């Protein structure tokens, strides 16, 4: 289990009430931001403390890994300064009975703050620019003791095992995003019915897109399964994030078995341009080994063409789950 501190600021109501955290992928100047990159490390069962209005308002356990997702509509004008796409993780936030004003406990909290990338200042007030910070167990235990004795008891008992065993069951935000994209295809003028059908089928790696990809990719790069019946045409740049041309482009696809397609689509694996497999530090090594990936050796899956390298660059930057440290 990892422990996190999120500074919601002006989006507290939306995030805490909606039970998620969301941030843009880049700063306003187009550069990576440590406090955004940390969200990519979240795993189900991690504990997240929620800070807003100069106090810890509650906490919750993450129920998903991080995933690429549009800026929530409920942000309204508050989010206009941010990019349309960002990082999201779902968290089952619960409010503390009484918010914990950290400035009143600064002498206890300050010595336990991270030496770098602290979420608040030593005086207990918010650290400007900090969004999502990793904290250690000792600080998490202190915060739980001060704010919620029941949470403290849980973290000190076998009950914490139930939180650590949380698994990602569904991603409704992704489903809604794709449904909206598909509906837009249906109502967009100037698209032939044949193309419209192909675009919808491409969402699940079938139809014309699968035929296009299969002309260049004859087998799963990792399992070597070569029977198209057991393969999915997997978008390198996800269907939901692609334009209509990219959704049908052969260069935006790999033929993968369903389990490998899942790992790739969720950012647990990727590839560098030389063909070397990249395994996310967030991925569960036991699970991906059982799914056919040897975690103990370097794996190279062979050459990619120019178009595939272009889309793989996007996948590494925008989809692959990484560590910010």
- The closest alpha carbon to 69, from 210, 180, 203, belongs to 180
Residue pair 2/41 in contact by the 8 Å Cβ criterion: yes
Beta bridge partner(s), residue 88: 22, 67
What's 3-164's CATH class?
Answer: alpha beta
Query: pLDDT tens digits for the chain (325 residues)?
Result: 899 999 998 899 999 999 999 999 998 888 989 999 999 999 999 999 999 999 999 999 999 999 999 999 898 877 666 778 899 999 999 999 999 999 999 999 999 999 999 999 999 998 888 999 999 999 999 999 999 988 888 888 765 666 565 677 789 999 999 999 999 999 998 999 999 999 999 999 999 999 999 999 999 999 999 999 999 999 999 999 999 999 999 999 999 999 999 999 999 999 999 999 999 999 999 999 999 898 888 999 999 999 999 999 999 999 999 988 6
- The closest alpha carbon to 314, from 263, 260, 251, 220, belongs to 251
Number of C-beta neighbours around residue 305 at 10 A: 11
Question: How many angstroms separate the CA atoms of 88 and 67, rounded?
Answer: 5
Residue 110 has which token pair? Answer: 């300050």
Q: What is the pLDDT of residues 210-266, one digit of tens each?
A: 999 999 999 999 999 999 999 999 999 999 999 999 999 999 999 999 999 999 999
The crossing angle, in degrees rounded to 10, of helices 193-202 and 172-187 is 170
- pTM, two decimals, is 0.91
Q: Return residue ranges of the chain for CATH 3.10.590.10.
A: 3-164
Question: How many angstroms separate the CA atoms of 199 and 14, rounded?
Answer: 33
């Amino acid at each position: 289990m990892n422990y996190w501190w999120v500074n919601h600021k002006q989006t507290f109501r939306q995030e805490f009430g909606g039970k998620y955290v969301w941030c843009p992928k880049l700063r306003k100047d187009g550069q990576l931001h440590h406090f955004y990159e940390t969200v990519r490390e979240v795993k189900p069962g991690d504990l997240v403390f929620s800070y807003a209005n100069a106090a810890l308002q509650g906490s919750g356990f993450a129920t998903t890994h991080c995933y690429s997702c549009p800026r929530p509509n409920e942000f309204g004008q508050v989010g206009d300064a941010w990019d349309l796409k960002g990082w999201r993780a779902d968290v089952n936030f619960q409010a503390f009975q009484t918010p914990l004003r950290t400035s009143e406990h600064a002498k206890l909290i300050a010595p336990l703050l991270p030496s770098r990338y602290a979420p608040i200042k030593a005086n207990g007030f918010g650290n400007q620019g900090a969004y999502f910070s990793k904290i250690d167990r000792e600080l998490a235990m202190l915060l739980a003791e001060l704010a919620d004795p029941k949470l403290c008891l849980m973290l000190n008992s076998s009950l914490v095992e139930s939180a650590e065993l949380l698994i990602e069951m569904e991603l409704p935000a992704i489903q809604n995003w794709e449904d909206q994209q598909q509906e837009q295809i249906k109502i967009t003028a100037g698209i032939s019915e044949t193309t419209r059908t192909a675009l919808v089928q491409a969402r699940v790696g079938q139809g014309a897109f699968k035929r296009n990809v299969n002309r260049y990719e004859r087998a799963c790069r990792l399992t070597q399964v070569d029977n198209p019946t057991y393969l999915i045409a997997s978008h390198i740049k996800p269907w939901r994030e692609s334009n209509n041309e990219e959704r049908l482009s052969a260069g935006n696809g790999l033929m993968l078995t369903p389990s490998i397609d899942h790992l790739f689509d969720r950012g647990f694996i990727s590839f560098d341009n030389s063909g070397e497999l990249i395994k996310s530090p967030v991925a569960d090594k036991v699970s991906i080994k059982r799914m056919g990936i040897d975690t103990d050796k370097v794996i190279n899956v062979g050459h990619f063409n120019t178009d595939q390298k272009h889309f793989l660059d996007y996948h590494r930057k925008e989809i692959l789950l990484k560590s910010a440290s």
